[in-house]
Structure 1
Amino acid sequence: MREIVFDTETTGLSFGGGDRLVEIGCVELVNRVETGRTFHAYYHPERSMPAEAYAIHGLSETFLSDKPVFAAAVADLLDFLGHAPLVAHNAGFDFAFLNGELGRCGFQPVCTKTRYVDTLQIARSRHPGAKHSLDALCGRYGIDRSHRVLHGALLDAQLLAQVYVELLGGRQIGLGLVDDAAVVAAVATAAAVPVARPVRAPRHFAASAGELAAHAAFMARISDPIWGAAAAG
């Protein structure tokens, strides 16, 4: 199964309030294992960068000034996403911006409730009452985040991919009991097929007369054997 774990950086908290998407990072998983394929892009927001947002991700207006606007580069992103389920942390936030940007340039939303996975909801279910930020979950599962100084979409997506696997059972995710009916039927069918085994004639291990005579001669050369003392006692 192919899944895409992704994260975004924005100019603020509300797409409807005029904020824009400025960075997206995506990590491809197949059967919950990272394939090494990623997607990363910066976008010109077509507006100013608030100081509060800059303090979080460090993306300045100068840095973004030569980046493409979202509409000019959206095709590459859609090609990478394909039709895979989309995984994000506090997914409603990221999906609102991604769908908002897509709608703004005439595309249908890709983040629907039947397609997305929210790791924040999974974390709240698995660890009620605990902290559920990405940093807190990395700490809980021993995931190294020492290189995370500022928020970055691709780095956060890579960390989230590891957290996601841990939330679903870690690297032993595939070691559960088999519940696939087709697999069970195949195993049962294989067990019912008789296995042809060659029948060997019985082997005879009795010593020959010559071997018995040689053994007796050897034993006769042993002086004061311990088994003789045991028999005399």
Structure 2
Amino acid sequence: MREIIFDTETTGFDPKTGDRLVEIGCIELVDRRETGQTFHAYFNPERDMPAAAEAVHGLSIQFLSDKPLFAERIDELMAFLGDAPLIAHNAVFDFGFVNAELARAGRPALDMARMCCTVQMARKLHPGAKHSLDALCTRYGIDRSHRVKHGALLDAELLAHLYIEMTGGRQIGLGLASSAAGSAAASPSSPMAARGHDRPFREPRPHMASAADLARHAAFVAGLNQPLWLDTV
């Protein structure tokens, strides 16, 4: 299954009051594993950058002034997103800004039915705990030492690792479920029931020590010079 993890950076909190999207970072997952395919872009917001927002992500209007408008890269972004489910942390915020930019460009909005919010997932998994990206990375042992400021692609990468852990860890993508299903379908008395389809069957091998093995072991122990365990006798 293909899924897209994404994050955004903006000029503020509310697109309805004139705030704009300035960065988006997307990570592709297939069967809960990163494929290495990403989409990342900065956008000229056509407005000033509030100091409070710049303090969070470090993106100045001087840096963004020569970047393309969102409308100029819509087709690339939509092609990358495809029809995959879209996962974000506090997803309503990110969907709100992307859809506001799409509306500004006269394009259809993203279907909210595609939305998966990791904050909502965390609230169900860890009620009463902190649900920020930093707090959850700490909980799941995800290294974020390189995260000095917020950045859309960096945060999407951290969120991808977090999402994988929150949905069962990396073993989800290792084919264990399909192997189990194949084994269950096999006859309980057949060799296939106890192994995966791609593993050769081997007859059970005896593992108990023979009389000769025991005799050799006793002779070896008898020849030890002052074994340590005799000090406790």
TM-score bucket of the superposed structures, by smaller chain: 0.7 to 0.9
Question: Rg larger in 1 or in 2?
Answer: 1
- Provide the rounded CA distance (Å) in 2 between the counterparts of 1:145 and 1:67: 28
TM-score by length of 1: 0.76
Task: Give the direction of change, closer, same or farther, for the CA distance of 1:189–1:99 in structure 2 (3 Å limit).
Answer: farther
Residue 63 (structure 2) aligns with:
63
Residue 103 (structure 1) aligns with:
103
Equivalent pairs counted in the alignment come to 192
Listed as ranges, the gaps of 5+ residues in structure 2 are 193-233
- Provide the rounded CA distance (Å) in 1 between the counterparts of 2:41 and 2:47: 18
Q: Secondary structure at the match of 2:141?
A: coil
Deviations 1:141-191 (CA, angstroms, capped at 9, x unpaired): 1111011000000000000000001111112335898599x8578545995
Residue 128 (structure 2) aligns with:
129
- Provide the rounded CA distance (Å) in 2 between the counterparts of 1:107 and 1:190: 59
Residue 117 (structure 1) aligns with:
116
Range with greater deviation from structure 2 (69-78 or 25-34): 69-78
Quote the offset at 1:103 in angstroms: 1.1
1:76 matched to 2:88: no
Kept in 2: contact 1:27–1:37 (CA 8 A): yes
Residue 34 (structure 1) aligns with:
34
Deviations 1:77-128 (CA, angstroms, capped at 9, x unpaired): 1111111110000000000000111111011112x23211100000110011
Quote the offset at 1:73 in angstroms: 1.3
Task: Give the direction of change, closer, same or farther, for the CA distance of 1:96–1:190 in structure 2 (3 Å limit).
Answer: farther
Q: Secondary structure at the match of 1:40?
A: strand
Q: Secondary structure at the match of 1:96?
A: helix
TM-score by length of 2: 0.76
Kept in 1: contact 2:31–2:172 (CA 8 A): no
Code of the aligned partner of 2:32 = R
Dislocated runs of 4+, deviation >3 Å: 174-180, 182-193
Kept in 2: contact 1:21–1:97 (CA 8 A): yes
Task: Give the direction of change, closer, same or farther, for the CA distance of 1:41–1:177 in structure 2 (3 Å limit).
Answer: closer
Output the aligned Cα RMSD: 2.5
Task: Give the direction of change, closer, same or farther, for the CA distance of 1:83–1:191 in structure 2 (3 Å limit).
Answer: farther
